[in-house]
Chain A
């Protein structure tokens, strides 16, 4: 184990490098989760559409994502997309979005189905269409209810973004392993890398609970 003092020194001297890598990790996470929310909402709506074909499509997508390792998905996106001249970053981002989308679809579906049946009926009884009621009444409530599990998925997505290292994205984990082996000091770099993840997860947790409180005004 490295001494605390050594750890501290490397922590300070590597600040600049980690700053850039953290920025990349955040970009990777935020952009992929952002895209995954749309994918998730789309497939959640397919799942509750009560149209067999659409439900099957959504189930198939979720089956693929759940049934294969994330690293395999990322590599498939990497080889597929770099052939189309896409950058490593975008291959990783889209791979992560594809992956997280399935879990977010299930989160949204659960949240939508947890909204009392009476809400849709009240909307319909006022002459609102199913789509309008979904958009104005059900989804805003479902989104609120989905926030805690979404926050959780966000944190998982943040940690999973470390797998982008394997296709060359120079994010936190890649920086730590590369610098660690170059300096024959892997343990120090990995501990620092872990500290950065902890800080990010901690900040994210604060952000999610802040949003929950903001949205809870009506309760």
Chain B
């Protein structure tokens, strides 16, 4: 059975000045896969995610999204990004807009959806993340977990085929982590293709199809969660796991 390839990365390299951050990255993510990226701070996880939605532009290599190689100099990256949602560690909700306005902003102003339809769809999404009653609140009145769930709804409103999560629970109080992970798990169960940077190993074990361990700009090891966590092949992976488990 060959699943549809959603993301394919070939020999991706990225430097910031003299700092070589991503080194010959190869990675494939199939439809409905959940890939968890782990690795020490500074290993390049965020940069890799950001190269997938072109918040950072690779130096060399290929980024192929749903079969199409994206060339930043000829493709309209705004169109590409509509299809690749991203959830950030610090939520980045628009503080001057209510929850509902946050969610309908891009559908109305990018997709040119009618406001009425956007509101209808936003309400369904807010219901789904359990925040229907917060539609008219401003973000400052929400807890961290609620903010992150709004951020997820805001991304989903563009109906992306791929969702990227960069440490979505790292800024949350421990008791709020669960509600966000539960939302992400639900999304995974619905078949969303997801790439997730997280330190939540329980989530990785339970939800991930693949775990990718990065070190110093390289992908060191990729495996099924139980393989990689219980029987890491590489010494570096073992070392890293012993520091976090």
A118-B88, A132-B109, A136-B105 given; A126·B94 CB < 8 A = no
B92 to A118, Cβ gap below 8 A? yes
A132 to B110, Cβ gap below 8 A? yes
B93 to A125, Cβ gap below 8 A? no
Q: Of residues 129 to 143 in A, which have CB atoms within 8 Å of B's CB atoms?
A: 129, 132, 136-137, 140-141
Highest count of chain B CB atoms <10 Å: which of A119, A125, A218: A125
Instruction: Count B interface residues, CB 8 Å.
Output: 30
- In the complex formed, the residue of A with least CB distance to B97 is A218
Whether, in the assembled complex, A121 has its beta carbon less than 8 Å from a beta carbon of chain B, the answer is yes
A118-B88, A121-B88, A218-B140 given; A126·B110 CB < 8 A = yes
B88 to A122, Cβ gap below 8 A? yes
Report the minimal beta-carbon distance from A145 to chain B, rounded to whole angstroms: 10
Whether, in the assembled complex, B135 has its beta carbon less than 8 Å from a beta carbon of chain A, the answer is no
Partner of A119, one of B53, B83, B92, B106: B92
A218 to B85, Cβ gap below 8 A? no
Q: Which residues of B contact A137 (CB under 8 A)?
A: 94, 105
Whether, in the assembled complex, B78 has its beta carbon less than 8 Å from a beta carbon of chain A, the answer is yes
Chain A contact residues: helix, strand, loop or mixed:
helix
A217-B138, A218-B138, A218-B140 given; A128·B92 CB < 8 A = no
Q: Interface code B86-97, partner A: CB below 8 Å = 1, 0 otherwise?
A: 101010111111
B79 to A219, Cβ gap below 8 A? no
Highest count of chain A CB atoms <10 Å: which of B90, B106, B110, B155: B106
Q: Which residues of B contact A140 (CB under 8 A)?
A: 96
- Cα-based distance from A152 to B240 in the complex (angstroms): 54
Report the minimal beta-carbon distance from B54 to chain A, rounded to whole angstroms: 9
A127 to B94, Cβ gap below 8 A? no
- In the complex formed, the residue of B with least CB distance to A126 is B106
Partner of A141, one of B83, B96, B151: B96
Whether, in the assembled complex, B158 has its beta carbon less than 8 Å from a beta carbon of chain A, the answer is yes
B110 to A116, Cβ gap below 8 A? no
A122 to B92, Cβ gap below 8 A? yes
- In the complex formed, the residue of B with least CB distance to A144 is B96
B140 to A219, Cβ gap below 8 A? yes
Q: Of residues 91 to 114 in B, which have CB atoms within 8 Å of A's CB atoms?
A: 92-98, 105-106, 109-110
A122 to B81, Cβ gap below 8 A? no
- Cα-based distance from A116 to B90 in the complex (angstroms): 10
A125 to B90, Cβ gap below 8 A? no
Whether, in the assembled complex, A66 has its beta carbon less than 8 Å from a beta carbon of chain B, the answer is no
Report the minimal beta-carbon distance from B128 to chain A, rounded to whole angstroms: 18
Q: Which residues of B contact A217 (CB under 8 A)?
A: 138
Q: Which residues of B contact A127 (CB under 8 A)?
A: 78-79, 81-83, 106, 110, 158
Whether, in the assembled complex, A20 has its beta carbon less than 8 Å from a beta carbon of chain B, the answer is no
A127-B106, A217-B138 given; A121·B81 CB < 8 A = no
B106 to A128, Cβ gap below 8 A? yes
Q: Which residues of A contact B215 (CB under 8 A)?
A: none
Q: Interface code A205-219, partner B: CB below 8 Å = 1, 0 otherwise?
A: 000000000000111
- In the complex formed, the residue of B with least CB distance to A141 is B96
Q: Of residues 81 to 109 in A, which have CB atoms within 8 Å of B's CB atoms?
A: none
A126 to B96, Cβ gap below 8 A? no
- In the complex formed, the residue of B with least CB distance to A135 is B109
Given pairs A125-B81, A128-B105, A136-B105, 11 additional interface contacts (CB within 8 A)? A116-B92, A121-B88, A125-B84, A126-B82, A127-B110, A128-B106, A129-B78, A132-B109, A141-B95, A218-B97, A218-B140
Question: Could you list 26 examples of A-B contacts with CB < 8 Å?
Answer: A118-B88, A121-B55, A121-B88, A122-B94, A124-B78, A124-B81, A125-B81, A125-B85, A125-B86, A126-B85, A126-B106, A126-B158, A127-B82, A127-B83, A127-B106, A128-B109, A129-B78, A132-B110, A137-B105, A141-B96, A218-B95, A218-B96, A218-B97, A218-B140, A219-B138, A219-B140
Give 9 nearest A-B pairs by CB, closest first: A127-B82, A122-B92, A118-B92, A126-B106, A125-B86, A218-B138, A127-B81, A127-B110, A127-B78
